[in-house]
Amino acid sequence: VCTQQELMPCKSLLETLLFQLLGLSIATLSTVTHYGLRFTLISNVSLDSNAYRVIHHTAFYFGICLSMTLILAALLSSAATVRESQCLTAMGFFCFALAFCGLIPAACWRYTHSTEVEDSMMDVYDFVYEEVRRNTSSFRRHELIAIHEAFLCCGKHSPYGDTNNVENKTCAPGQVHDEGQDCLREIQDFLRKHMDFVFSFLGIAIGFTVYGMILTSFLWFSIHFSSNLYRKGKYILR
């Protein structure tokens, strides 16, 4: 329970915890995306010419930097409220603005390149599958088996019509290939759901960073004018 004098510090503490929770959530999502079995498997299999590996690492480092920026902004805002420091408030505003400037391009990239991640991920599977189809003794066979086990799918619809031999040797025993188990469709559906969740999370983060900038701006002006009013009318006799 907060008294009237402690209302502002208590409110600042709650907002700090909220922004810290948001930062930790972004860090957790970035870590899960980077070290998740399905994402890691595709990243390890992809070639250097494929864009997926670059996207995979860039998304992780961006998420970690964003989470650290939000946590730092929250801590600076809380310290500025307790100490009534204009300098700390300005630094908190700068951190929120920096996070906002990073979130807007990320959201725009997700909107304008909505299928780039899906296409690059499916290209990896196509490459591995065709390598196994042309040469079943290739080491790519073990990678294809791992993909089938990770995505719980079996093969793909190929225009060549000679996929049964590949699927019999790379799919789990007793798993029948049908339309619902097409790996390209499974990969696309999985990644589309994940990217929609990430896009929604970006929207929430943008809203909170805007709120953080407004909050720190209000706090800065409040400290500034309170300081001037406190000194108004006071004189020093010499």
Output the CA angle 61-127-180, nearest 5 degrees. 90
How far apart (Å, rounded) are the C-alpha atoms in residues 23 and 27? 6
Close Cβ partners of 122 (under 8 Å, ≥ 6 residues apart)? 184, 187, 188
Going from N- to C-terminal start, the domains of the chain cover 13-124+182-228
> In one letter, which amino acid is 106?
A
Q: Which residue has the tokens 């720190």?
A: 216
- 129 close to 225: Cβ distance less than 8 angstroms: no
How far apart (Å, rounded) are the C-alpha atoms in residues 123 and 138? 18
User: How many CB atoms are located within 10 Å of the residue 197 CB?
Assistant: 11
In order along its 238 residues, the chain shows pLDDT tens digits of: 444 344 455 656 677 788 889 999 999 999 999 999 999 999 998 888 888 999 999 999 999 999 999 999 988 888 888 787 888 888 989 999 999 999 999 999 888 887 888 899 999 999 998 888 887 657 888 999 899 889 988 888 766 555 567 777 788 776 654 544 688 999 999 999 999 899 898 999 999 999 989 988 888 888 777 754 445 445 454 5
Does the model's pTM come out above 0.85? no
